[in-house]
Amino acid sequence: MDTNTYISKFSGKDLILREESYDMLDLNSNWVTVGKLTQKVSTYQFDFEICPFTTGHKFIPMDEWNNGPIFRVTLGTPTSNRQLNSTEQFEREINNDIISEMNLGNMKECAKKMFVHPKTGKPLTYSEMRMLYG
């Protein structure tokens, strides 16, 4: 594991679920630690270990988080260079396929794909679909 020695800034669309902790820029240009990204529910909804809106700081509205570099990896946080295991890689690939469909605006096609198992082609129940895609 390395320790960050440089500052990379990200917009919300660039955030990924990872081992590192994130900081977020508030409206007064102060960095506020929000912890690990625990879930990226949609393009405009993010869940962190620490909810930014409970920190007492003011931030730009969540629907604008994708417009500019307002995140960074918390300084001094060890970065993980671990390789994804095959299950994680598979999950990332199927999620990227679904996200690509969403970005193209093909929501009906996206929904159809989400109810078919990506490996077996079998129809999925709602519960099974949620297990795969969250």
Q: Look up the pTM and report it.
A: 0.51
pLDDT digits (tens, 9 = 90+) for 8-67: 787 888 887 777 788 888 999 888 888 888 888 777 778 888 888 888 889 888 888 888
The domain segmentation of the chain, as residue ranges, is 2-79, 86-133
10 CB-near residues (< 8 Å, 6+ apart): 69, 70, 71, 72
What percentage of residues in the chain have a pLDDT greater than 90? 1
